[in-house]
Amino acid sequence: MPSSTEIIESSLPRTGSCVALGVSGGIAAYKAAEVLRGLQRANCRVRVAMTEHATKLIAPLTFRALSGEHVIVDDYAPDNPDPIAHITFSQTVDLFLVVPATANIIAKFANGVADDFLSSTYLACNAPVIIAPAMNTTMWNHPATRRNLAQLRADGVHIIEPDSGEMACGTFGPGRLSEPDRIVAAALEILKGTNA
């Protein structure tokens, strides 16, 4: 019997699109690798950008091995082949997808803060943007987070609501990253609309 990912992906057209996958520093960062593989199965080229905090949870080498692409953490890193990568990176993608989107990166996006590669890429990006939030329930329900999410919605950002369940900290409630196959399906649906 096919998995739910296979069923979802088989119902959508093969895109050939380029997706920027942003990975921020939440414990769910490891699930971004599953999202990357799901996008690749749908014939998407995936380029990865990470926050410095994300690299503490999952190594850039993991994403480089899976994507076959240079992973960017810092515009100014000596191994970065493009010193203005936040511009060229953001202008050559069909979709910008952030998995997981932490409270920190959501606040930066909502307030126009561009103090790292990921937030600079967001401001320079003309492609549709999807975020998949993941954080502790208390953080998810905090008025500042709700306000920032409302601002992002007003700015046209697509938000994949988190699931409810057990958190890494042992509490239960909303804030757990949505399942990777659901994130992939949402991304492919947006890409289908942009390729129409």
Rounded CA gap, 54 and 52, in Å? 5
Picking from 23, 13, 147, the residue whose alpha carbon sits closest to that of residue 96 is 23
Catalytic annotation, residues? 169
Range 142-146 contact pairs with CB under 8 angstroms and sequence separation of 24 or more: 142/103, 144/107, 145/103, 145/106, 145/107
Cis peptide preceding 100, ω within 30 of 0? yes
Query: How do strand 158-159 and strand 95-101 relate by DSSP bridges?
Result: unpaired
Phi, psi of 55, deg, nearest 5:
-65, -15
Rounded CA gap, 24 and 105, in Å? 7
Question: Which amino acid is residue 186, in one-letter code?
Answer: A
**Strand locations in the chain (E):** 18-23, 45-50, 95-101, 129-133, 158-159, 163-166, 172-176
Q: Using the structure block, give the residue that is written with the tokens 């953490």.
A: 73
